[in-house]
């Protein structure tokens, strides 16, 4: 083997090792970002609203919708653009007297949260004159086998405990029955 081919072979090996390392870092980063929400996120409790739970083909999970999923358009505070389907939205929520968080404002760019406020990151599902529908990535909650149907029947009477990271990502921590 000549020096030139040895250098090429060594370069290819380094490239392959670099690509494998890069893939491992990306996968580790995705996993760590999910768990970082649970470690560093702020506790938020939100009220659920009823959803039509008809599709049982995907296994046991509960489809959830929230009060914060359908926003009044007057909450949109970005004066330079209108809310458009598929765009990222940042919803500022604050805790009410009942201990539940409610939407206070919505922006197209991440605002600074004031004391007592939390910023949730979502995606605009659709918007029109009467509402802005938002998906936060917390609309499905997977449950143990044979427990999904019972939870779906009371999906409109649940409180969901979320952890919300400082970058807006939310994860469901637990569900509890609503008392009212």
Over residues 9-62, the pLDDT tens digits come to 888 999 999 999 999 999 999 889 888 888 888 888 887 775 545 455 666 777
Q: What is the pLDDT of residue 126?
A: 87
pLDDT class for 97, splitting at 50, 70, 90? very high
Radius of gyration of the chain (CA): 22
pLDDT class for 118, splitting at 50, 70, 90? very high
Q: How many CB atoms lie within 10 A of CB 36?
A: 17
121 pairs with which residues across the strands?
90
User: With contact defined as beta carbons under 8 Å apart, do 141 and 175 qualify?
Assistant: yes
* Residue 87 predicted with pLDDT over 70: yes
User: With contact defined as beta carbons under 8 Å apart, do 160 and 66 qualify?
Assistant: yes
Would the pTM count as exceeding 0.75? no
Q: What is the pLDDT of residue 27?
A: 94
Q: What is the pLDDT of residue 59?
A: 66
């Amino acid at each position: 083997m000549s020096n030139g081919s040895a250098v090429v072979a060594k370069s290819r090996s380094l490239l392959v090792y670099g690509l494998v390392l890069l893939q491992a870092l990306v996968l580790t980063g995705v996993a760590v970002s999910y768990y970082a929400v649970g470690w560093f996120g702020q506790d938020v409790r939100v009220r659920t609203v009823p959803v039509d739970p008809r599709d049982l083909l995907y296994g046991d999970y509960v489809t959830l919708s929230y009060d914060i999923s359908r926003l009044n358009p007057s909450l949109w505070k970005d004066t330079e653009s209108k809310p458009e389907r598929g765009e990222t939205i940042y919803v500022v929520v604050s805790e009410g007297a009942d201990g539940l968080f409610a939407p206070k404002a919505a922006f197209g760019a991440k605002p600074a949260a004031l004391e007592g406020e939390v910023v949730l990151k979502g995606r605009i599902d659709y918007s029109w004159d009467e509402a802005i529908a938002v998906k936060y990535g917390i609309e499905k909650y997977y449950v143990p086998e044979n427990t999904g149907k019972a939870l779906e029947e009371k999906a409109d009477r649940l409180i969901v405990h979320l952890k919300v990271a400082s970058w807006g990502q939310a994860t469901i921590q637990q569900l509890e029955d609503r008392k009212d």
